């Protein structure tokens, strides 16, 4: 990679590209017709709380809305290399979101638009023939980026970047492409709902994707997840809203200990 690549872009190419995931859900409508939706997420950790090793993926809480019917088939996909190799983890849920132990959504998702999906660290290689089983992520080859500490926030004027899988790109091309965005923090809103407002835009499908900044040494730090695009009216652009990632850790600690 050239030496003059900006830090935010370099962090994306080296780290965030491979930790940002596509989340797809497949189910049926009440009328029995096939339906699906998609969003984005970011790998933030791993664990063994459910037995076999699993991977934790942060996303937006509104991504984990209950579907009209059950069961739901989930596909979590991540790019494993620049040559286009994609690892796909799949699982099926049979209960409402709130009753599924490997899915976490805050009790009041309207106030805290951040959630977490846990999936076992097993996957298949997309379009491989014959089918090939692999680890969803090889922790010996890739380390996840840092996340922000429990307290504090970025100042307005800080340059940030984010990524995700816009739905309109899939509709346009027939394929999902991970897209990179860049902008500047316009404001931090601490209450009633913690948000970063960023001078930039997003699209359906990018919800849940990561936003990050770079430390002086170039290391990326995940700041939050894409929540919404606010304020656009009459052809005047709005601001992209992101929920801080430390809100997720706070809600996990509070609600899982109850």
Cα gap 113→196, rounded to integer Å: 12
Q: Would you state the pLDDT for residue 2?
A: 63
- Report the 10 Å Cβ neighbour count for 16: 26
Cα gap 119→74, rounded to integer Å: 10
User: Residue 14 gets which letter from DSSP?
Assistant: I
Q: What is the CATH architecture assignment of 146-250?
A: Beta Barrel (2.40)
Q: Where are the domains of the chain?
A: 7-142, 146-250
Cα gap 136→120, rounded to integer Å: 8
* Alpha-carbon dihedral angle through residues 86, 89, 95, 99, given to the nearest 10 degrees: -100
Cα gap 241→229, rounded to integer Å: 6
Low-confidence ranges of the chain (pLDDT < 50): none
**pTM listed for this prediction:** 0.95
Range 7-142 classified under CATH 2.40.10.10: yes
| Nearest of 104, 247, 237 to residue 188 by alpha carbon | 247
The answer to whether residues 199 and 211 touch, using CB atoms and an 8 Å cutoff, is no
Cα gap 206→212, rounded to integer Å: 14
Q: Would you state the pLDDT for residue 13?
A: 94
Q: Give bridge partners of residue 104 from the DSSP assignment.
A: 116
User: 7-142 and 146-250: same fold?
Assistant: yes
User: Residue 233 gets which letter from DSSP?
Assistant: B
Q: Would you state the pLDDT for residue 258?
A: 65
| Nearest of 227, 211, 196, 190 to residue 114 by alpha carbon | 227
Q: Express each pLDDT in 140-183 by its tens digit.
A: 999 888 999 888 899 999 999 999 999 999 999 999 999 999 99
Q: Would you state the pLDDT for residue 171?
A: 94
């Amino acid at each position: 990679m050239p030496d003059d690549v900006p830090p935010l872009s370099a962090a994306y190419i080296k780290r965030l590209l491979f930790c940002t995931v596509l989340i797809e859900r497949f189910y049926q409508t009440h009328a029995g017709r096939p339906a699906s939706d998609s969003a984005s997420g970011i790998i933030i950790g791993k664990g063994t709380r459910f037995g076999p090793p699993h991977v934790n993926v942060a996303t937006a809480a509104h991504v984990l809305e209950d579907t009209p019917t059950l069961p739901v088939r989930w596909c979590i996909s991540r790019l494993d290399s620049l040559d286009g190799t994609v690892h796909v983890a799949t699982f099926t849920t049979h209960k409402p979101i709130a009753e599924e132990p490997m899915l976490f959504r805050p009790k009041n998702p309207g106030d805290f638009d951040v959630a977490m999906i846990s999936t076992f660290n097993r996957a298949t290689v997309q379009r491989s023939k014959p089918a090939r089983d692999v680890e969803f992520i090889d922790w010996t080859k890739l380390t996840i980026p840092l996340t922000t500490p429990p307290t504090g926030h970025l100042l307005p004027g800080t340059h940030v970047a984010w990524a995700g899988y816009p739905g309109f790109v899939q509709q346009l091309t027939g394929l999902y492409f991970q897209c990179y965005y860049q902008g500047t923090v316009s404001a931090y809103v601490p209450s009633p709902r913690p948000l970063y407002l960023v001078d930039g835009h997003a699209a359906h499908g990018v919800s849940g994707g990561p936003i990050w900044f770079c430390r002086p040494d170039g290391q990326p730090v995940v700041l939050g997840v894409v929540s919404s695009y606010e304020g656009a009216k009459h052809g005047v652009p709005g601001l992209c809203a992101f929920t801080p990632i430390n809100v997720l850790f706070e809600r996990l600690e509070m609600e899982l200990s109850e």
